[in-house]
Chain A
Amino acid sequence: MPVPEPCHTYVANYIRIAYYIARMQRLSHTAALILKALSLGYCFGFDIMAITGLPSGTVYPALRRLERDALVESDWEPDDNASANGRPSRRYYQITQTGKAAVLAASERYPLLTRLIPEKQA
Chain B
Amino acid sequence: MILPLPSPLARTDRMLLRVGLRLTPPDDRENWLRCWQAELWHRHHPRDASRTGATDLYAGLIRDALWLRGESWRIAFAGTAIVCLLVLSGLLLLTSLPLLVLTGTPHALMLFLIAAGPRFLCEATLVTIVSFATASQYLEHTPRASMLTQLRSRLFQAAKSAFVLAIAFLLSTDVFQPIRSAHCFVAEILHPLGFVLLALCGLRWSFHDGGRRCQHCLRALASPARVGRPSWNFLDTNGTELLCTRGHGLLSIPEIETSWRRSSRWIAA
Residues of A within 8 A of B (CB): 6, 8-9, 12, 44-46, 49-50, 55-61, 64-65, 68, 76, 79, 83, 86-91
Contact = CB atoms under 8 A, between A and B. Distances in A.
The 5 A-B residue pairs with the shortest CB-CB distance in the complex, in nearest-first order: A56-B60, A57-B59, A61-B67, A60-B60, A60-B64
Interface of B: 3, 5-6, 34-35, 37-39, 41-43, 45, 51, 56-64, 66-68, 71, 226, 229-231
A6 B61 CA distance: 52
Contacts of A46: 39, 42-43, 51, 56-57
Contacts of A79: 3
A56 B42 contact: no
Nearest to A64: B67
A61 B230 contact: no
B59 A56 contact: yes
A87 B6 CA distance: 6
Contacts of A59: 60
B71 A56 contact: no
Contacts of B63: 56-57, 60-61
Given A57-B63, A64-B68, A49 B6 contact: no
Given A56-B59, A57-B63, A61-B64, A88 B3 contact: yes
Q: Of residues A45, A64, A79, which shows the largest number of chain B Cβ atoms within 10 Å of its Cβ?
A: A45
Contacts of A65: 67
Nearest to B5: A88
A58 B57 CA distance: 10
Contacts of A49: 56, 60
A64 B64 contact: yes
Contacts of B71: 64, 68
Contact of B230 (A8, A50, A68, A76): A8
A57 B3 contact: no
A56 B38 contact: no
13 contacts: A8-B230, A45-B39, A46-B56, A49-B60, A50-B51, A55-B59, A55-B60, A56-B63, A57-B60, A88-B5, A88-B37, A88-B38, A89-B38
Given A6-B231, A50-B51, A55-B56, A88 B41 contact: yes
Contact of A45 (B58, B60, B67): B60
